[in-house]
Amino acid sequence: MDPAERRELILSAARRAFASRPYEEVSLAEVAQEAQASEALVHKYFAGKAGLYAQVLRHAADELAERTRRADDALPEGSSARDRVQTSVLTYLDFIAERSPGWVTYQVLAGHDPGDEAARVRREAREAAVTALAQVVGGRRGHRDDFALWGYLGFLDDACLRWVHAGCPDDQRHSLVDAALGCLEGALGDWRK
């Protein structure tokens, strides 16, 4: 098998494992076995479990960004900033529900070690999310907007953690979305667009 194909098989196995179970429950041996590779080969391609996890996170961040972009593009021309943010939250909830055990671990583990590759991937993904959100709501006008946008993401992730711990119930989605929209609107003071 060609090295690129082998690497992709390992990544696919790791994505499934990390999406279905917490980080600490996933072993390189099981990922290697599912990918029909040796553990040594996994180490060669990804420099261990932390490197593999960082690549899985990078892929997930890219996938979420692409899903959000497609959902936004599917909205009618001239949709309000509020409608666009609502669509992004609904997309995020779908994304989380598909991989809730792994997403919870991502929230709990990420950022503990600023030198850690997974923490760097998370930081870059959050910076990109703030930039994209700022574009939706009409840009940034200073420190207040930065605090509002970053605070909104923190609020959203904490609210989503509560939703995931409740089992991702459909009957709570509307309340979560309304709370998130209210949080952002309250923090910004207006939608500007």
> Is the C-alpha dihedral spanning 136, 130, 99, 10 positive or negative?
positive
Distances (CA, A) of 151 to 12, 36, 188: 33, 43, 10
pTM of the full structure: 0.86
116-131 pLDDT, tens digit each: 787 788 889 889 999 9
DSSP annotation of 142: S
The tokens 């609020």 sit on which residue?
155
3-43 pLDDT, tens digit each: 889 999 999 999 889 888 878 888 999 999 999 999 999 98
